[in-house]
Amino acid sequence: MVIYMGVVLYAPALALNAVTGFDLWGAVLAMGLVCTLYTALGGLKAVIWTDVFQTVVMFAGQLTVIVVGANQAGGMAEVWRKAVNGSRIAGLDLNPDPLERHTFWTLGVGGVFLMLALYGVNQAQVQRYLSSRTEKEAIMSCYVVFPCQQIVLCLGCLMGLVMFARYGEDSPLDKGFVKTNDQMVLYFVMDVFKDLPGLAGLFVACLFSGALSTISSAFNSLATVTMEDLIKPHFPNMTEAKATLLSKGLALVYGLVCLAMAYVASIMGSVLQAAFSIFGMVGGPLLGLFCLGLFFPWANSTGAVVGLVAGLAMAFWIGIGSFLMRMSDTIPVAALNTTALPLFDNMTTTVMTTLVNSTTAKLRLTGVEALYSLSYMWYSAHNSTVVVVVGLLVSFLTGPMKENDLTPGTVYPVLGTLLFFLPEHYKEKLCCVTPLPTPHKPKEIDTQPYQMAKIDGNGAAYCKEDTVTEDKETESDRAQTEEKDLETRIARPSCQLTAHTVQETAL
């Protein structure tokens, strides 16, 4: 998460430096310090409200660039015509090769695992779910964020098409106006808005809003996780005031560490690929760990730990190996993660502030080189699968969990349905049937009903049992009742006399 924050912090500063000449590390330092300051002082509430405002700015900036850019290019119809003629629009690529960068399968299947890792087990998202007032609101937030995210991605793709319609094959990168693909977006914006003062600043605000919203959420969640899981268990008697102060200090520390990680991001190549690769390398094994415990009842703690270690080792092996191969230039970059899908030749994603250019490569890699060339969209799926497979094997060899050892309600009972073809004897060994949580019944406590003090005929206060009496009472019955009431008054210390009269004193 900290390395990913470095990527997000570095990306907009790089774009701003390319087109305005503003010092790169000065922009990184200013943005990091501002974000760290308001996150440490305001906490989660400040993060959420700033995110709301920044989301509005993001949508406004993207829409403004698309509308103005398309109008200068001759309209959206002309943009679409040039994109089709330039082979930027194509149908689905159903090639199942996992080495291809973007295909239907890498986006449709690998992307699902990537989103599960991002929105299912990521601590920044989980913290927001837990901060919701009800479970229903937390679930509704997931339903709302998905279409919004798709809109942002579609707007980014439209912006890429508008860029192609304006520059064609002769891009600013080819002319030497920018040094990397990640700088082309802001160059395009400055070019489009050069005669419209103020609008270029709106898009710069759009870029920085996307970065700040992500960074602030991560700072706050990292501080909360460190506080709740690492510090409070060892200091259970810590006061709320000290805990709040320490949490703010942790957010400040993580902000400073993130500034250092921005340098690491500067040597990782494409910003978008670096961001998704990090999520796949770390989020994939974490997703696999949760799936292992949630869907497989016989998984034990030993299998979970070994599986997680194996998944992380595999993830960093592939990720670092791919990075080193690109740095050494032993294999052309186009051969590492490429696609035959022309739609993604110019894909702009404003949230990540990057432009990904992909070219078609026919060179077929083998062995370890093929493993290193695995599409970054498959990282989460591949690494989570490694965790589940290794975890199940180790659990089976070291002694699977028994049904009686499971905590009710912690395992989703889907395995019994999937293994319906197995005999019951094997299902019991695999612990396919798990106990469901039983509704909690409050312990019944035998308590006496509260008695209100009443006034007798002599003006004395007393507690009277709720009894059913006949409509007609005799004098003897009434006398016996009064005697019982007096005995009850003396025997029950909880029924205190509330008034004293001369007649009661005489008695």
Instruction: Check whether residue 68 and residue 168 sit in a common domain.
Output: yes
Sequence-distant (≥ 6) Cβ neighbours of residue 37 within 8 angstroms: none
Tell whether 199 and 70 lie within a shared domain: yes
The reply to whether 417 falls in a domain is no
Q: Are residues 483 and 365 in the same domain?
A: no
**Quick one: 48 and 168 in the same domain?**
yes
Asked if 370 and 487 sit in the same domain, the reply is: no
| Cβ-based neighbour number of residue 78 at 10 Å | 12
Q: How far is Cα 266 from Cα 446, in angstroms, rounded to an integer? A: 70
Looking at the fold, whether 381 and 496 belong to one and the same domain comes out as no
> Among the residues of 329-373, which ranges form H helices?
333-336, 367-372
CB contact at 8 A, 162 and 79: yes
pLDDT at 391: 92
Do 341 and 484 lie in one domain? The reply is: no
Q: What span, in angstroms and rounded, lies between the C-alpha atoms of 452 and 466?
A: 10
In this structure, what token pair is assigned to residue 417?
Answer: 């349905």
Q: Residue 410: inside a domain, yes or no?
A: no
φ/ψ of 89, rounded to 5, equals -120, 125
Tell me whether residue 391 is in a domain: no
Please indicate, yes or no, if residue 101 is contained in any of the structural domains.
yes
Domain contains 381: yes
Strand 453-455 and strand 347-349: the pairing is unpaired
Asked if the structure places residue 196 within a domain, the reply is yes
Residue 436 lies in a domain: no
> Which two tokens mark 333?
């970059």
Residues sharing a CB contact under 8 Å with residue 349, sequence separation 6 or more, in sequence order: 152, 153, 156, 272, 356
Of 347, 362, 385, the residue that ends a domain is 385
For 299, the 3-state DSSP assignment is: coil
Last residue in a domain, options 369, 385, 401: 385
Report pLDDT digits (tens) over 20-39: 677 878 888 888 888 777 77
Rounded CA separation 324/216 (Å): 30
CATH, residue 329: 1.20.1730.10
The whole domain housing 343 covers: 2-385
Pseudo-torsion of CA 181, 208, 2, 267, nearest 10°? 20
Residues 185 and 294 reside in one and the same domain: yes
Long-range contact pairs involving 25-28 (C-beta distance under 8 Å, separation at least 24)? 28/259, 28/262
Residue 472 domain flag: yes
Three-class secondary structure of residue 427 per DSSP: helix
| Final residue belonging to a domain, choices 368, 385, 402 | 385
Longest pairwise C-alpha distance within the chain = 116
Q: What pLDDT score does 268 carry?
A: 59
On whether both 175 and 259 belong to a single domain, the answer is: yes
What per-residue confidence (pLDDT) applies to 472?
45
Same domain, 361 and 492: no
The predicted pLDDT at position 280 comes to: 61
Overall residue count recorded for the chain in this entry: 507
The predicted pLDDT at position 27 comes to 81
In this prediction, the residues of the chain whose per-residue pLDDT falls under 70 are 1, 3, 15, 18-20, 182, 264-280, 326-367, 413, 416, 427-507
490 and 379, same structural domain? no
On whether both 368 and 477 belong to a single domain, the answer is no
Residue tagged 């706050």 (tokens): 220
pTM for this model (two decimals): 0.64
| Structural domain total, the chain | 2
Between strands 354-356 and 461-463, the pairing is unpaired
